[in-house]
Amino acid sequence: MSDLSRTTVIHSGAGQSRWELASRPILPSLRPYVRGWGGYSEVTPGGSLSRELPAPRVVVIFEFGPPIQVFERGSEVQSSRYTGGFVAGLHEQFALTQHDGFQAGLQLDLTPIGARLFFGLPMSELTEQVFSLADLLPREHRCISERLASLSSWDARFDLVEQFLQARLATPATSTALMAWASRQIEASGGAMDIRQLARELGYSSKHLITLFRNHVGVTPKLYASLVRFDRLVQHLKSSRAGRWADLALDLGYSDQAHLAREVRRFSGTTLTELRAVGAEAPSLPLDR
Name the residue ranges covered by the structural domains of the chain: 4-168, 174-281
Q: What is the pLDDT of residues 159-188, one digit of tens each?
A: 999 999 999 997 888 889 999 999 999 999
From residue 255, how far is each of 109, 247, 259, 275 by CA, in Å? 29, 11, 6, 19
- The pTM score is 0.91
CATH number for the domain formed by residue range(s) 174-281: 1.10.10.60
Going by C-alpha positions, the residue among 246, 188, 220, 39 that lies closest to residue 112 is 220
Q: Dihedral sign, CA of 108, 18, 93, 71?
A: positive
Q: Give the span between the Cα atoms of 262 and 14, in whole angstroms.
A: 35
The CATH superfamily assigned to 4-168 is Jelly Rolls (2.60.120.10)
Q: What is the pLDDT of residues 199-214, one digit of tens each?
A: 999 999 999 999 999 9
Which residues in the chain come in under a pLDDT of 50? 1-4, 282-289
